[in-house]
Structure 1
Amino acid sequence: MNISVVICAYTERRWDDVHAAVASVRAQRHRPYEIILVVDHNPDLLQRLAASLPEVTVVANAERRGLSGGKNTGVAVARGDVVAFLDDDAVAAPGWLAAFAKHYDDPAVAGVGGRTLALWPGSPSSAELRYGHRLLEGGEPAEAGRRPAWFPEEFDWTVGCTYRGMVPGPIRNLMGGNASFRREVFAVAGGFADGIGRSHHRRPLGCEETEFCIRLRQRSPRSELVYDEEAVIWHRVPAERARFAYFRERCYAEGLSKALVTRSVGTGDGLASERAHALRTLPRGVARGLRAAVRGDAAGLGRAAAITVGLAWTVWGYGVGSASGVRRSEEPAMVGAQR
């Protein structure tokens, strides 16, 4: 199974992160067919990365600025049977691509996603990870930093990581920074929607992969998407994203993003997983935090409160996005990635 790996980059501040990501892909047991690095409207960075990584295909984002355009550009360039996506501030375990590849023997499988673990503040730097320092045998970071005591696992999605409540097996949508799809499905579903997901907009929007996965399943109902926790990556969480202020802002932005998603694919499919998470997983998380507080873990009360605030801010963002609409410049349009 030939797998092309696409990494989207946009800023010089992640220079070491990007190189660490590329090094981790090169170290895969299942050798990548090619590595494609898409640079988002930054000519200086494009030139520097092309010179620094001569064995990598470095291209400019050919579409509108943002993560969706970068991913669509990577898909258009890719030649592999499968296209895998890795965040530019993440490193993949050596078995990452192998875990993806084993599922594609089943022709019904259209996409496979993996488990994303956090590299919290205090973890090894990207330069150390790039050169193999402070790693355990098998490629696992020797240290993963320190999770804030108040930070609930149910909301790890706010920092781009797998969250409590995800179960291996069939899933509605994959997480965009650790995902793979058969290249042929982009001709069926179209590309990632322009106007959904990360861009240079001031709010940390998301959900471009959610909207894409739902749209794919709507157009190809027999296609299966699978979550495999053996496909592991580690995603860096900078100090500013481990703060409560960012947590609230990210939850609100997720609500806005979900409003965009439901406008594209409908509320039934667009909110099915979110309803289950809100009605089952989150109440259990609150109860777990309160029990921990009673047993003497004062941070348990903080986790219970964070779950409550996170849900409220997400619902607030969704309500605002649904009632007033998101700005015209952020409205989704299906472009690119059609072959």
Structure 2
Amino acid sequence: MENPTFRPAVSIVIPTHSEKRWSMLVRTVASARSQDYPAAEVVVVVDHNPELYRRARRDLPGVTVLENLYAQGVSGNRNTGAFHTNTPLIAFLDDDVVAATDWLRKLVAPFADPAVVGAGGGINPAWETTRPRWMPDEFLWAVGGSYTGMPTATAPIRNVWSASMVVRRETFMAVGGFRTGFGKKGNQARPEDTELCLRMSAHAGGGWMYVPDAVIRHEVPAQASTFSFFLRRCYAEGRGKVQMAGLLDGSESLGAERDYLWSLPKAVVRNLAAASRGRGVAHALRAGSVVAGVAAAGWGGAVETVASRRAARRPAPVAAAEAAQ
């Protein structure tokens, strides 16, 4: 329940990188500035794109526009904006989302509990085309959406997504923010947001809250609606989660993933049963997609595990040079 006397100041940080996303960025900024819980500052951070930076400075009045101070990548982009702010809470939105007018107010409410270090909200896919018939509800995360199996009411959760996230500044700063060099860049889909959530929880001994009623709409372009994209995304997720485990406490950090995997056979059975009762071929397609998605993620995890072990056995450059002398 929201506490009307609890009104900490919040800044909103929006990373961006490409002129191709300009129209989406404009919509995101407009939704950030239209919140019924007004942000103290809206900060747009441009990732090493001088032309886009100049355009944003010129055409986004009332918004602070910065350039990424770190190496190219979304983690440094977000950190640039977050470290610029001075409010006790920092919110993050991606540049291809539209937040409901009550989004920020609902995400701030859990912070009345001092044990909460962060919160995230529900993400509804906004398909440029129609949703593919084969797309399982359990795999909507592959297009940046909330998926079946997540809480349906406000509840504790291990991690949320940076497309819709609010963090307690003190804890965020204490852990150094997002891990630069680890995140989404090009075809890489490393889970920098999950990794941040785990470090913040470990540092503060606090937790994260998921608020499904704090809704954003996430744009899903036509190219992200193909089955080949789905398989590539699952493969990349498998690799990224193994990389994350290597940075933290090994497989102990993947408990939520194991629980999720155990839930998927039920999804296959449920869809096959629906198909057998004549409820449409889409259910059979979704059952097959669950199997394919698990296989692609598993293959990605296996590839990354092998690569990591080979890298660990490879001698360091200095040691190799000394051995050659």
How do 1:198-217 residues align onto structure 2 when only pairs under 5 Å count?
198-200=184-186, 203-217=187-201
Residues 117 and 204, structure 2, Cα contact 8 Å, conserved in 1: no
How do 1:157-176 residues align onto structure 2 when only pairs under 5 Å count?
157-167=141-151, 168-176=154-162
How do 1:40-51 residues align onto structure 2 when only pairs under 5 Å count?
40-51=47-58
Q: 2:274 aligns with which of 292, 313, 317?
A: 292
The one-letter code sitting in structure 1 at the alignment partner of 2:178 is F
Alpha-carbon offset, residue 310 of structure 1: 0.4
Any stretches of 5+ residues in structure 1 without a counterpart? Answer: 123-145, 329-339
Residues 204 and 250, structure 1, Cα contact 8 Å, conserved in 2: no
Q: 1:98 aligns with which of 94, 105, 113?
A: 105
Q: Distance in 1 between matches of 2:127 and 2:149?
A: 20
Which 10-residue stretch deviates more, 7-16 or 288-297?
288-297
Residues 71 and 181, structure 2, Cα contact 8 Å, conserved in 1: no
- What does the per-residue CA deviation read over 1:119-170, in whole Å, with 9 as the maximum and x for residues that have no partner? 0124xxxxxxxxxxxxxxxxxxxxxxx2111001111111111111111411
Alignment match, 1:177: 163
Q: 1:7 aligns with which of 3, 9, 14?
A: 14
Alpha-carbon offset, residue 191 of structure 1: 1.8
Q: 2:176 aligns with which of 190, 193, 207?
A: 190
Q: Which has the higher contact order (CA 8 A, sep 6+)?
A: 1
Any stretches of 5+ residues in structure 2 without a counterpart? Answer: 1-7, 312-325
Alignment match, 1:139: none
Which 10-residue stretch deviates more, 163-172 or 317-326?
317-326
Q: Distance in 2 between matches of 1:268 and 1:63?
A: 29
The one-letter code sitting in structure 1 at the alignment partner of 2:121 is G
How do 1:252-267 residues align onto structure 2 when only pairs under 5 Å count?
252-267=235-250
Q: Which SS does the other structure have where 2:185 is aligned? A: coil
The one-letter code sitting in structure 2 at the alignment partner of 1:263 is G
Q: Which SS does the other structure have where 1:213 is aligned? A: helix
Q: 2:204 aligns with which of 220, 224, 242?
A: 220
The one-letter code sitting in structure 2 at the alignment partner of 1:311 is V
Alpha-carbon offset, residue 326 of structure 1: 9.8
Q: Distance in 2 between matches of 1:188 and 1:79?
A: 14
Alpha-carbon offset, residue 268 of structure 1: 3.9
Runs of 4+ residues over 3 Å off in structure 1: none
Q: 2:265 aligns with which of 271, 274, 283?
A: 283
Q: Which SS does the other structure have where 2:184 is aligned? A: coil
Q: Distance in 2 between matches of 1:79 and 1:216?
A: 18
Q: CA RMSD in A?
A: 1.5
Larger radius of gyration: 2
- What does the per-residue CA deviation read over 1:10-54, in whole Å, with 9 as the maximum and x for residues that have no partner? 000011000000011111110111100000000000000110012
Alignment match, 1:270: 253
Q: Percent identity, aligned pairs only? A: 40
Structure having the higher helix fraction is: 2
Residues 292 and 298, structure 1, Cα contact 8 Å, conserved in 2: no
Alpha-carbon offset, residue 319 of structure 1: 1.1
The one-letter code sitting in structure 2 at the alignment partner of 1:287 is V
Q: Distance in 2 between matches of 1:320 and 1:232?
A: 35
